[in-house]
Chain A
């Protein structure tokens, strides 16, 4: 402290300047994101609001905006939920395998391969889903229709092309698998050693240790991971547009020929030949998707914050 009196003035200004520059960069990056989000919102609102009130034939086969967007929203949520139901158990299983079960030589390659899935463009997933996966799933769906037909989801009659919302859900599940896996794996691996050893020293098996120490610690992180996956599934366009021959219907039947369309895939498939009136309707549906995704994320944060408050006391 006392010996560096002369050097202090020389040393501290650069570091302060560095601090200021970095703080400025960080702040402006944050502001740019907010501005971009606001710009998107304003664009959607300005271009989309007229779409709420167009001539009835624009909403064919329906006649006004609310039922139109309502059915698309149903389809969007339905496909995304199917994807989540399929993807989440797999993602958590793979993440646990990588973080707690696999020998180290195996863990890294498995993690790498799963991450690679995220790099595949969604058009490729769409083509693969429509051309390769759908035909493979025809017999599976026929079986489901035959044996589990009493459940509304599998009421049938099963599609002969396999291009159903179930197939789309499977494709979506594969697409959101990497992000859910990557985030949960990071969180599982950060479980405090102290808590893991507390469980092990009580005579917990590995699975019991995971239930006692890993899951409680990772709970809020898992919710975030699932929400990010849900966000991706809600907004995914090409994969669904290519797989589904969709119509705006509301049905829980996952394996028949008439499938609910999603907002994003409906925009993609109607965009090219849209009249200006139709275009504003499509943009209005986009606004609804934007608002819905926002609300889902908001709700997820609230859930996470509440559970964290509960456990930090």
Chain B
């Protein structure tokens, strides 16, 4: 199922504003790729261009090429809706649908695909996804209660369950732990470890230890200079990035000597 992603010469605009310039990288299938870098350098922007969520912002557009397993993502014949069904996304702030129960939240994506599903099949998907998101034991007795009634960390895991319920090929996560306590965070990190056997995962994080713990490859983004667009400074295996990076700026950022 999992797919690899090739990005070449990617420029990303908000209207006339060039936010990110000249990104080239390869994201391997069945691995975890982390994006790190200072605030405002374009990590979320790049992430959102990978499932065509960038263009839902009025005036936003992308130039360059993104290939997902050899298929061009921005080809005019490709329907962005279909792309998003295969490339799931988890946001920084948990966003379960407030009027839906836990059960319905998990199935929200499956119902969009508008297949008629038998009750047993639905139950199976809900259980599998909630187990996958390490949430099953906490909510199995209250599946029909609103998703908003959960704690922040549980809500975030519910969103992960919702994203994996449709069995996407790629899972994008934008600072999924930034609003969570250390225990929920470690639950989600464990989860990422388990998920990478099935999915290709890209995660944005401000937490260096987290990037070091969960990822196989790391990309460091930075602004070229104040007022300039963001760029990908270096992308390497995480081990190398954190021990012996090629670029001085990467080393400075990772070791906390960032000016």
Contact = CB atoms under 8 A, between A and B. Distances in A.
B81 A203 contact: yes
A217 B56 CA distance: 20
B233 to A, nearest CB: 27
Interface in B89-134: 89, 91, 93, 95-100, 108-109, 112-113
Interface string A300-313: 00000000000111
Q: For the side of the interface on B, what is the size category?
A: 20 to 34
Interface string B74-99: 00000001111110110101011111
Given A201-B89, A203-B84, A313-B146, A104 B95 contact: no
Contact of A311 (B51, B91, B112, B146): B146
A194 B97 contact: no
A311 B56 contact: no
A198 B91 contact: yes
Contacts of A195: 95, 97-98
Contacts of B108: 199, 202, 212
A86 interface: no
Contacts of B100: 216
Contacts, number: 71
B139 interface: no
A201 B97 contact: no
Contact of A313 (B95, B112, B148): B148
A197 interface: yes
Contacts of B86: 203
Given A195-B97, A202-B108, A204-B81, A313 B149 contact: yes
A212 B93 contact: no
Nearest to A213: B97
A216 B97 contact: yes
Given A202-B109, A208-B112, A212-B97, A194 B91 contact: yes
Interface of B: 51, 53, 56, 58, 81-86, 88-89, 91, 93, 95-100, 108-109, 112-113, 145-146, 148-149, 159, 162-163, 166
Interface of A: 104, 194-195, 197-205, 208, 212-213, 216-217, 219, 311-313
Give 5 nearest A-B pairs by CB, closest first: A203-B85, A216-B99, A201-B89, A202-B109, A203-B84
